[in-house]
Amino acid sequence: MPTAAHVVSAQLEVYAVDRSVAADIALGVVGLQRSWSATAATWEQATATQRWTLPGANGVGADRDAGPADRIRLNATQRWTTFDITHLVQRWQVNRSENMGLLLEAAAGNDNANVEYRFASAQFPTLAQRPRLIVRYWVPPT
């Protein structure tokens, strides 16, 4: 995205592939605030050599933002779920070094059931179901 761009809107879309039982969850998307390794991150570790401030990247102000950028209720699979992350992408456009990625955070839904949802990842075999970031912006004339 050009440096002079003005972000109008931004959405993260993830595809829910399946779930363990027929129950809902509350799902939020949170901005991360520190670097981490996609190949080494765990519940305890941000990288192979650095721990999260709190397990699960729960260190508010150190590991992650205080609250979710958006939260939805998910109750079905084989469909797209869309999060509005406009204000996060606007923040990152102003200060690109703040873009450390996103974290999906689940909580009990209305059913208050133990349920696991599985989402298509960046390595998912079906290319059309991999996560998408859609950013709409404009660039002022020079």
Per residue in 56-95, pLDDT (tens digit) is: 999 999 999 999 999 999 999 999 999 999 999 999 999 9
Residue 16 has pLDDT above 90, yes or no: yes
How confident is the model at residue 113, as a pLDDT?
A: 87
Distance CA 135, CA 19 (A): 29
- pLDDT on residue 110: 87
Distance CA 57, CA 66 (A): 11
* 19 has a pLDDT exceeding 90: yes
Residue 24 corresponds to which amino acid? Answer: D
pLDDT(104) > 90: yes
Instruction: Say how many C-beta atoms besides its own lie within 10 A of residue 27's C-beta.
Output: 22
pLDDT at 111: 85
Tens of pLDDT, residues 23-45: 999 999 999 999 999 999 999 99
